Amino acid sequence: MRVSAAALLVVIALLAGTGGFLLGRSWPADSPSPPIAELRPPQATLQPGAERPSFSLPGLDGRLRDVAEWDGRLLVVNFWATWCAPCREEIPLFIRLQEQFGDRGLQFVGIALDEPANVEPFAAEYGINYPILVGQGEAIELMRRFGSRYGALPFTAVVGRDGRVAYVHEGALSPEQAKTHVIDRL
Please report, for the chain, the start and end positions of each structural domain, with discontinuous segments joined by +.
Answer: 56-185
Three-state SS across 78-125? Answer: EEECCCCHHHHHHHHHHHHHHHHHHHHCEEEEEEEECCHHHHHHHHHH
Which carries the bigger pLDDT value, residue 165 or residue 21?
A: 165
| Mean pLDDT estimate for the chain | 84
Give the H/E segment covering residue 34. Answer: none
Q: To 10 degrees, what angle do helices 116-126 and 85-101 make?
A: 50
Beta bridge partners of 132: 110
Task: Answer yes or no: are the C-beta atoms of 107 and 70 closer than 8 Å.
Answer: yes
Give me the architecture of the 56-185 domain, per CATH. 3-Layer(aba) Sandwich (3.40)
Tell me the mean pLDDT in the region 145-154. 94
Q: pLDDT at residue 178 above 50?
A: yes
CA triple 92-173-41, angle to 5 deg: 130
Q: pLDDT at residue 30 above 70?
A: no
Measured CA to CA, the distance from residue 132 to residue 114 in angstroms comes to: 11
Q: In which band, very low, low, confident or very high, does the pLDDT at 17 lie, cut at 50, 70 and 90?
A: very low
CA triple 77-82-84, angle to 5 deg: 85
- The tens digit of pLDDT for each residue in 75-111 reads 999 999 999 999 999 999 999 999 999 999 999 999 9
Task: Answer yes or no: are the C-beta atoms of 71 and 163 closer than 8 Å.
Answer: yes
Give the H/E segment covering residue 157. Answer: strand 155-159
DSSP letter for 44, please. Answer: P
